[in-house]
Chain A
Amino acid sequence: MKVDVPMTRIGGTLLVTLRGELDDTAVTVIEDQVTREVARAATEGTLIDVSGLDVIDSFIARVISRMVGMVRLLGSNAAVVGIQPAVALTLVEFGVPMGHLHTALNVEQGMALLRRLHRDGARCG
């Protein structure tokens, strides 16, 4: 299946933009390609922008969560940005656990969050 995965490099950060209607195959293809790209380019940070998603059901949420986990294992800080308020409310009420993820309101604040995580990580490590 051909899936266009919109990925942009901003300095050492990989920005992944999810949008439109995603079926399950598309979500897992994106997960695979993002993980490969993080490993290939050794990105310092990864932002997953979901502001273009009107719906995040439990499957999509689980894959996003798993993707963040894999990216972290590869040594890149990761954050999910731009969850729409109606989507956030639905996820919480449905009971999808996403509280363990780093999140930010938008890409700009996400970039600031990654810088902070990077700095703190450098200090601790």
Chain B
Amino acid sequence: MALDAANVPGPAAVTIASEADLIRVRQVLRAEANCAGFGLVDQTKLVTAGSELARNILNYATGGRGQVLVEQLLGGGRPGVRATFSDDGPGIGNVEAALTDGFSTGGGLGLGLPGCRRLMDELRISSAPGSGTTVVIVKWTR
């Protein structure tokens, strides 16, 4: 499916500060995935990964606050969706470890980052202790 550049919707930003925003994030991602022409499975994967990352912000970021920016992509003629989750929280000291199954900084539940990476085509983390965390996920249509 070719997307006319004029039909690509503008980026959508959602502030993440409460559980209600978790649902808002899921809805926005669902709408953007639909718009990009994702099948049901890829839609579900994107929404699920987004739900995990939004919850990480609620649980771990300072004041439980952050935001997500959702954008449509067109790479080599293929539509995709990128979601950028950012917060000013304590940051992740060891990003490599956080991407390893079974890793957790506390609570024993893990951050779900390895799972999110398996659901997405791309997942990038930039973080340092004290300087917040940015997680970028990308999913392309097949």
Q: Is B112 an interface residue (CB 8 A)?
A: yes
Instruction: For the complex formed, measure the closest distance between the CB of B56 and the CB atoms of chain A, giving whole angstroms.
Output: 11
A94 touches B119 (CB 8 A): yes
Q: Is B121 an interface residue (CB 8 A)?
A: no
Within 8 A of B (CB), among A26-68: 54-59, 62
Q: Is A24 an interface residue (CB 8 A)?
A: yes
B48 touches A94 (CB 8 A): yes
**Assembly CA distance A87 to B40 (angstroms):** 9
Instruction: Please classify the interface of chain A as helix (H, G, I), strand (E, B), loop, or mixed, using the class held by over half of its residues.
Output: helix
**Assembly CA distance A90 to B49 (angstroms):** 9
Given known contacts A55-B26, A58-B112, A95-B115, A25 and B19 CB-to-CB distance under 8 angstroms: yes
Given known contacts A94-B115, A96-B115, A86 and B52 CB-to-CB distance under 8 angstroms: no
Q: Is B23 an interface residue (CB 8 A)?
A: yes
**Assembly CA distance A54 to B47 (angstroms):** 9
**Assembly CA distance A89 to B109 (angstroms):** 21
Q: Which 5 residue pairs of A and B lie closest in terms of their CB atoms, listed nearest first?
A: A94-B115, A23-B19, A86-B44, A57-B51, A86-B41
Task: List residues of A whose CB falls within 8 A of some B CB.
Answer: 21, 23-25, 54-59, 62, 84-87, 89-90, 93-96
21 contacts between A and B (CB under 8 A): A21-B27, A23-B20, A24-B55, A54-B30, A55-B26, A55-B44, A55-B47, A58-B109, A62-B109, A84-B44, A86-B44, A90-B41, A90-B45, A90-B48, A90-B119, A93-B115, A93-B118, A94-B49, A94-B52, A94-B118, A95-B101
